[in-house]
Amino acid sequence: MAEPTTKKQKVLTQYEQLAEVTKIVADTGEIAQIKKFAPTDATTNPSLLYKASSAPEHQDLVNDALAYGKALKDVTDDERVAKTMDKLSVNFGVEILTLVKGYVSTEVDARLSFDTEATLARARNIISLYEAAGVDKSRILIKIASTWEGIKACEVLQKEGITCNMTLLFALPQAAACAEAGATLISPFVGRILDYHKKKTGNSYPDAWQDPGCISVSEIYGYYKKHGYGTIVMGASFRSKDEVLQLAGCDRLTIAPKFLAELQESNGEVVQHLEASASAAACTLDKLPSSESAFRLAMNDDPMATSKLAEGIRGFSADLVKLEATVRDRLGVTPSPTPGPAWAPPAAAAAAANGDGVTNGNGNGGGGDKTEFDQLAEVTTIVADSGEIEAIRKYKPTDATTNPSLIYAAAQMPAYQGFVDDAVKHALGLQGSPKERVEAAMDKLSVNFGLEILKIVPGYVSTEVDARLSYDTEATVAKGRSIVALYKAAGIDKSRVLIKIASTWEGIRACEILQKEGISCNMTLLFCMAQAVACAEAGATLISPFVGRITDWYKADTGRSGYAAEEDPGCLSVSEIFGYYKKHGHGTIVMGASFRNKGQILQLAGCDRLTIAPKFLEELKSGTEKVERKLEPETASTAYSGGRYPADLKSFRLKLNENAMATEKLAEGIASFSQAIVKVEKIITDKIAAAST
């Protein structure tokens, strides 16, 4: 009698095991790859679409889109190109939908990421193109960048029954806002989060359970499950198969063909790391606030998310521009003019020496009996950048400006404890909660320093609004008014005070309101032309472009040890702004700030104002080299040959996003000033508590 045979159990591949706990999505625009792996869904992006569109096997899809565009009537050239681009995306989507049983994601133009209405219009057009091809909208995910404006567009679309995939997502505040908006799906970018932390820390994160991107997605997943959100979490942008496997159990994972192949080729055990009830129980986070100001401040406080969101929009936009150039060429449409650099430095600056050395003097021979300070004061109003009264008294500048970091340093000095004690006494005499008393003491402390400074300088003193209000127009306006009221109570007219506000869009709107009330504003943390133009259009009295911080960024980005003053990026930026203002008749004062060396200061000789730290004031007092005027209104105006920049909200946000330096430095500056405020608050809180016992 024959021995009974036992059936050999099939060994599952990692792909098959993963598919049992997670829906697998193909992250590609290549039709052949989708056929090969047969995923549930597929998602594309502009980078993938650009690559796929150049492949010979997809030229029928491209040609069909071009024929559609050429046949359009009564449209502008730009509309024809935009509609052709949408048709091309849809053509790929329609083809993909013959291969997958679930969703296909089609992305809205990334250049619309800060324009809610335009995003809505493009999304609706994409859906209409799918419907014309016989595809129901229930199978389409409209892919939108997770900016505040994109999230608001998602909210509208979801109510219209148009499902959305919120992309370029790097942080919990974005995820929370998307869920509150009713998004169908989010795509947190695992690998790009990892990239940032590897670069910043030098850590390679070889173990996936320590991978910052995997940790972020796991946190979002747990947050959603704890608070009952139905939004699908789909991890994206992987750098290794291990990252994919670390998120086994996530609702969906969108995976590039390279890693799909690796999963199919391996039969190692796949452990489910994410499970709804366990993740919900492990989450200790309360619901995040859902207001715009809270969203923007939370994003600002996360340098990784700020940097990567901006970088992602720039990257997708760049690929769209490349694809669009091909489409325009094949449609026979002339490209729309794009504004280029419109400022050329004066001849002296153009003749700058190359190299990495930092120039600290002008090398123009002696200045006679006059110090460099005296010569500079003949062409520029000198402002002291300090909270130290004795330093201001020593150098006798026209104006003085402080910031939270300077106030924090001064508040710890024995010489200024009287200011702190007076602020505490003021707060203790008020009704209100402990938080309100601390806030009142903080304002009074800033004003106390300002009052003492005004005994020394004949001009302005700048007093800064709490940096944590940088994305809250109404709160900034209220704080500005409160500060002015404290000065008025002390007998100081508002004409001698500059309310210092971060140059966010919300801060600029607050400036506009305050200026109309006769309250002068100093717009700080300014790093680019988009900010400068918006401030001038809002009627700001003064702006403070941060020379040294601009240069710091470029040194770190390029690896250079320094710049000659004539080619210093910070000096060039201020010179360009100065020229724009003079060219277009803006009366807003340009005050260069945040210097790293004396050479930067002297390179801006002739600027309306320069706010200078005591260290460099001393160097200028000690120096006798001849100071050459570098900026002069008429010459600078002539050097600037461009037209007016747009100053509307959408243009502002997009232009700021396009400037990596400005995006990162603005966020960093707000975070740094906010941290300094927290430190001063600790001093105040402790003193109020001690006085109350």
Active site residues: 500
Residue 164's SS3 state is strand
Full 3-state SS string of 477-540 = HHHHHHHHHHHHHCCCCHHHEEEEEECCHHHHHHHHHHHHCCCCEEEEEECCHHHHHHHHHCCC
Q: Taking the alpha carbons of 263, 267, 269, 272 in that order, is the dihedral positive or negative?
A: positive
Residue 530 one-letter amino acid? A
CA distance 499 to 519: 7
Helix/strand/coil for 409: helix
- Please state, in angstroms and rounded to a whole number, the distance separating the CA atoms of residues 559 and 495: 44
Give every CB contact of residue 682 below 8 A, 6+ residues apart in sequence. none
**Euclidean distance between CA atoms 392 and 400, whole angstroms:** 8
Residue 575 CA to residue 569 CA, distance in Å, equals 10
Closest CA to 396 of 380, 415, 410, 383: 383
Cα–Cα distance between 234 and 221 in angstroms, integer? 9
In 3D space, the residue among 343, 344, 349 whose CA is nearest the CA of residue 629 turns out to be 349
Report whether 637 contacts 344 (CB < 8 A).
no
Return the residue matching tokens 């980078």. Answer: 47
How far, in Å, are 51, 313, 357 from residue 323 at the CA level? 9, 15, 41
Residue 422: other Cβ atoms inside 10 A: 16
Token representation of residue 416: 């200024």
